[in-house]
Protein backbone atom coordinates (compact mmCIF):
# COMPACT_ATOMS: atom_id res chain seq x y z
CA UNK A 1 0.00 0.00 0.00
CA UNK A 2 1.28 3.44 -0.88
CA UNK A 3 2.30 5.82 1.87
CA UNK A 4 -0.07 8.40 0.39
CA UNK A 5 -3.01 6.05 0.94
CA UNK A 6 -2.05 5.53 4.57
CA UNK A 7 -1.78 9.29 5.09
CA UNK A 8 -5.15 9.88 3.43
CA UNK A 9 -6.66 7.24 5.69
CA UNK A 10 -5.19 8.93 8.76
CA UNK A 11 -6.60 12.29 7.70
CA UNK A 12 -9.99 10.68 7.10
CA UNK A 13 -9.92 9.13 10.57
CA UNK A 14 -8.90 12.49 12.01
CA UNK A 15 -11.71 14.31 10.21
CA UNK A 16 -14.32 11.85 11.50
CA UNK A 17 -13.09 12.19 15.06
CA UNK A 18 -12.74 15.96 15.03
CA UNK A 19 -16.27 16.28 13.65
CA UNK A 20 -17.66 14.03 16.37
CA UNK A 21 -15.77 15.87 19.11
CA UNK A 22 -17.11 19.19 17.83
CA UNK A 23 -20.70 17.90 17.87
CA UNK A 24 -20.59 15.88 21.10
CA UNK A 25 -21.38 17.23 24.54
CA UNK A 26 -19.49 15.33 27.24
CA UNK A 27 -19.81 15.49 31.02
CA UNK A 28 -17.20 13.34 32.79
CA UNK A 29 -18.72 10.82 35.22
CA UNK A 30 -17.49 7.79 37.15
CA UNK A 31 -13.93 6.80 36.15
CA UNK A 32 -13.79 9.60 33.60
CA UNK A 33 -14.49 12.18 36.29
CA UNK A 34 -11.79 10.56 38.43
CA UNK A 35 -9.17 11.09 35.73
CA UNK A 36 -10.19 14.73 35.43
CA UNK A 37 -10.17 15.20 39.21
CA UNK A 38 -6.58 13.98 39.41
CA UNK A 39 -5.54 16.17 36.49
CA UNK A 40 -7.12 19.34 37.89
CA UNK A 41 -5.66 18.72 41.36
CA UNK A 42 -2.26 18.19 39.75
CA UNK A 43 -2.53 21.51 37.94
CA UNK A 44 -3.71 23.43 41.00
CA UNK A 45 -1.30 21.97 43.56
CA UNK A 46 1.65 20.75 41.54
CA UNK A 47 1.29 17.38 43.29
CA UNK A 48 -0.22 14.26 41.81
CA UNK A 49 -2.96 13.12 44.18
CA UNK A 50 -6.45 14.05 45.30
CA UNK A 51 -5.73 14.13 49.03
CA UNK A 52 -2.16 15.13 49.65
CA UNK A 53 -0.03 12.48 48.00
CA UNK A 54 -2.87 9.95 47.84
CA UNK A 55 -3.87 8.92 44.32
CA UNK A 56 -6.30 6.33 43.03
CA UNK A 57 -4.98 6.38 39.47
CA UNK A 58 -1.65 6.06 37.74
CA UNK A 59 -0.38 9.40 36.39
CA UNK A 60 -0.13 8.60 32.67
CA UNK A 61 -3.57 9.59 31.43
CA UNK A 62 -4.18 12.40 33.97
CA UNK A 63 -0.89 13.88 32.71
CA UNK A 64 -2.38 14.14 29.21
CA UNK A 65 -5.48 15.85 30.58
CA UNK A 66 -3.45 18.20 32.76
CA UNK A 67 -1.13 19.17 29.89
CA UNK A 68 -4.09 19.87 27.63
CA UNK A 69 -5.93 21.87 30.28
CA UNK A 70 -2.78 23.91 30.92
CA UNK A 71 -2.79 24.99 27.27
CA UNK A 72 -6.46 25.34 26.29
CA UNK A 73 -8.28 25.60 29.63
CA UNK A 74 -10.21 23.14 31.74
CA UNK A 75 -12.68 21.73 29.25
CA UNK A 76 -12.95 18.10 28.11
CA UNK A 77 -13.50 19.13 24.50
CA UNK A 78 -9.87 20.23 24.24
CA UNK A 79 -8.77 16.77 25.33
CA UNK A 80 -11.17 15.32 22.78
CA UNK A 81 -9.35 17.06 19.93
CA UNK A 82 -6.02 15.72 21.18
CA UNK A 83 -7.54 12.26 21.33
CA UNK A 84 -8.83 12.66 17.78
CA UNK A 85 -5.20 13.02 16.68
CA UNK A 86 -4.24 10.00 18.78
CA UNK A 87 -6.97 7.98 17.08
CA UNK A 88 -5.60 8.90 13.66
CA UNK A 89 -2.12 7.92 14.86
CA UNK A 90 -3.49 4.55 15.95
CA UNK A 91 -4.74 3.94 12.41
CA UNK A 92 -1.29 4.66 10.99
CA UNK A 93 0.41 2.39 13.49
CA UNK A 94 -2.06 -0.38 12.74
CA UNK A 95 -1.28 -0.11 9.02
CA UNK A 96 2.43 -0.52 9.76
CA UNK A 97 1.95 -3.48 12.10
CA UNK A 98 -0.56 -5.47 10.05
CA UNK A 99 1.36 -4.71 6.86
CA UNK A 100 4.34 -6.62 8.24
CA UNK A 101 2.42 -9.86 8.55
CA UNK A 102 -0.22 -9.60 5.83
CA UNK A 103 -0.85 -7.97 2.47
CA UNK A 104 -1.16 -4.19 2.04
CA UNK A 105 -4.86 -4.72 1.35
CA UNK A 106 -5.30 -6.46 4.69
CA UNK A 107 -3.39 -3.66 6.43
CA UNK A 108 -5.61 -1.04 4.83
CA UNK A 109 -8.75 -2.99 5.74
CA UNK A 110 -7.70 -3.27 9.38
CA UNK A 111 -6.97 0.45 9.59
CA UNK A 112 -10.26 1.38 7.90
CA UNK A 113 -12.17 -0.77 10.38
CA UNK A 114 -10.48 1.07 13.24
CA UNK A 115 -11.04 4.45 11.57
CA UNK A 116 -14.80 3.93 11.32
CA UNK A 117 -15.27 1.81 14.45
CA UNK A 118 -18.40 3.11 16.23
CA UNK A 119 -16.86 2.37 19.64
CA UNK A 120 -13.58 4.11 18.85
CA UNK A 121 -15.44 7.12 17.48
CA UNK A 122 -17.86 7.28 20.41
CA UNK A 123 -15.05 7.28 22.98
CA UNK A 124 -12.96 9.96 21.25
CA UNK A 125 -14.46 12.92 23.19
CA UNK A 126 -14.66 10.92 26.45
CA UNK A 127 -11.98 11.18 29.14
CA UNK A 128 -11.10 7.50 28.86
CA UNK A 129 -7.56 6.16 29.15
CA UNK A 130 -8.08 3.85 26.17
CA UNK A 131 -7.66 6.87 23.90
CA UNK A 132 -4.02 7.10 25.00
CA UNK A 133 -3.25 3.48 25.84
CA UNK A 134 -4.22 2.22 22.37
CA UNK A 135 -1.60 4.15 20.35
CA UNK A 136 1.00 3.57 23.08
CA UNK A 137 0.37 -0.18 22.96
CA UNK A 138 0.52 -0.22 19.15
CA UNK A 139 3.80 1.69 19.22
CA UNK A 140 5.18 -0.82 21.70
CA UNK A 141 4.20 -3.72 19.44
CA UNK A 142 5.86 -2.02 16.48
CA UNK A 143 9.10 -1.60 18.43
CA UNK A 144 8.93 -5.21 19.61
CA UNK A 145 8.64 -6.38 16.02
CA UNK A 146 11.57 -4.15 15.06
CA UNK A 147 13.66 -5.84 17.75
CA UNK A 148 12.68 -9.29 16.45
CA UNK A 149 13.75 -8.37 12.93
CA UNK A 150 17.04 -6.73 13.93
CA UNK A 151 20.27 -8.31 15.12
CA UNK A 152 23.00 -7.47 17.63
CA UNK A 153 23.09 -4.00 19.10
CA UNK A 154 20.18 -2.74 17.05
CA UNK A 155 17.97 -5.49 18.42
CA UNK A 156 18.91 -4.48 21.96
CA UNK A 157 18.14 -0.84 21.17
CA UNK A 158 14.71 -1.67 19.80
CA UNK A 159 14.03 -3.95 22.78
CA UNK A 160 14.99 -1.18 25.20
CA UNK A 161 12.70 1.22 23.38
CA UNK A 162 9.87 -1.29 23.56
CA UNK A 163 10.50 -1.66 27.29
CA UNK A 164 10.28 2.10 27.81
CA UNK A 165 7.04 2.29 25.85
CA UNK A 166 5.59 -0.64 27.78
CA UNK A 167 6.51 1.14 31.02
CA UNK A 168 4.63 4.21 29.79
CA UNK A 169 1.69 1.98 28.93
CA UNK A 170 1.67 0.73 32.52
CA UNK A 171 1.48 4.34 33.75
CA UNK A 172 -1.50 4.94 31.47
CA UNK A 173 -3.38 1.70 32.02
CA UNK A 174 -2.09 -0.59 34.80
CA UNK A 175 -4.15 -3.54 33.52
CA UNK A 176 -1.55 -3.78 30.76
CA UNK A 177 0.61 -5.70 33.24
CA UNK A 178 -1.17 -8.80 31.98
CA UNK A 179 0.36 -8.15 28.55
CA UNK A 180 3.89 -8.26 29.96
CA UNK A 181 4.44 -12.01 29.32
CA UNK A 182 3.34 -11.59 25.71
CA UNK A 183 5.69 -8.63 25.20
CA UNK A 184 8.61 -10.61 26.64
CA UNK A 185 7.86 -13.66 24.50
CA UNK A 186 7.60 -11.55 21.35
CA UNK A 187 11.01 -10.01 22.06
CA UNK A 188 12.87 -13.24 22.81
CA UNK A 189 11.07 -15.79 20.64
CA UNK A 190 11.57 -15.83 16.90
CA UNK A 191 14.03 -12.95 16.83
CA UNK A 192 16.57 -12.19 14.13
CA UNK A 193 14.13 -12.69 11.26
CA UNK A 194 15.69 -9.85 9.32
CA UNK A 195 14.20 -8.54 6.11
CA UNK A 196 13.06 -11.93 4.85
CA UNK A 197 9.95 -11.88 7.05
CA UNK A 198 6.72 -11.87 5.14
CA UNK A 199 4.85 -8.61 5.15
CA UNK A 200 4.93 -4.90 4.42
CA UNK A 201 8.15 -4.67 2.40
CA UNK A 202 7.57 -7.78 0.32
CA UNK A 203 5.36 -8.44 -2.63
CA UNK A 204 1.89 -9.54 -1.43
CA UNK A 205 0.57 -12.89 -2.53
CA UNK A 206 -2.19 -12.82 -5.08
CA UNK A 207 -5.66 -13.58 -3.83
CA UNK A 208 -8.80 -14.49 -5.71
Spatial contact of 90 and 121, defined as CB atoms under 8 Å apart: no
Q: 79 in a domain, yes or no?
A: yes
Residue 196 has what pLDDT? Answer: 43
d(CA 175, CA 129): 11
Q: Spell out a b/e string for 24-37, using b for 16 or more CB atoms within 10 Å of the CB, else e.
A: eebebeeebebbbb
Instruction: For residue 54, report the phi and psi dihedrals to the nearest 5 degrees.
Output: -85, 130
pLDDT(206) > 70: no
The whole-angstrom separation of Cα 163 and Cα 78 is: 30
Are 92 and 6 within 8 A, CB to CB?
yes
Asked whether residue 48 carries a pLDDT value surpassing 90, the answer given is no
Read off the pLDDT band of 51 (50, 70, 90).
Answer: low
Q: 19 in a domain, yes or no?
A: yes
> What is the number of structural domains in the chain?
1
Q: Is residue 201 part of a domain?
A: no
Q: Tell whether the model's pLDDT for residue 203 goes beyond 50.
A: no
Question: What's the mean pLDDT in 114-141?
Answer: 94
Q: Give the model's confidence band at 53: pLDDT under 50 very low, under 70 low, under 90 confident, else very high.
A: low
pLDDT higher at 179 or 3: 179
Domain, as residue range, for 176:
3-196
- Residue 162 has what pLDDT? 87
pLDDT in tens, 79-126: 999 999 999 999 999 999 998 888 888 999 999 999 999 999 999 999
Is residue 198's pLDDT more than 50? no
**Model confidence pLDDT, tens digit, residues 146-193:** 888 877 888 889 888 988 999 999 999 988 888 878 777 776 765 555
Question: Is the residue at 51 inside a domain?
Answer: yes
207 in a domain, yes or no? no
Q: Is residue 205 part of a domain?
A: no
| 42 C-beta neighbours (distance < 10 Å), count | 22
CB 78 within 8 A of CB 24: no
* Cβ–Cβ < 8 Å for 42, 58: no
pTM, entire model: 0.82
Within-domain flag for 176 = yes
How far, in Å, are 25, 46, 50, 122, 126 from residue 39 at the CA level? 20, 10, 9, 22, 15
Separation of alpha carbons 165 and 190, rounded Å: 21
pLDDT exceeds 70 at position 21: yes
CA distance to 10, 48, 134, per residue, from 90 (Å)? 9, 28, 7
The per-residue DSSP string of 119-148 comes to HHHHHTTS--THHHHHHHHHHHHHHHHHHH
Whether 206 maps to a domain, the answer reads no
Amino acid sequence: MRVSNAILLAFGALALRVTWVACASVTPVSDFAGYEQHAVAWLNTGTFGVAGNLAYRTPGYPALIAATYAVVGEHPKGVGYVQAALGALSCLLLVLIVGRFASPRAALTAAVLLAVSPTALAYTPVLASENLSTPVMLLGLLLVDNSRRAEGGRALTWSAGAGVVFGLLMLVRPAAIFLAPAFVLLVFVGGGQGKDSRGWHNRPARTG
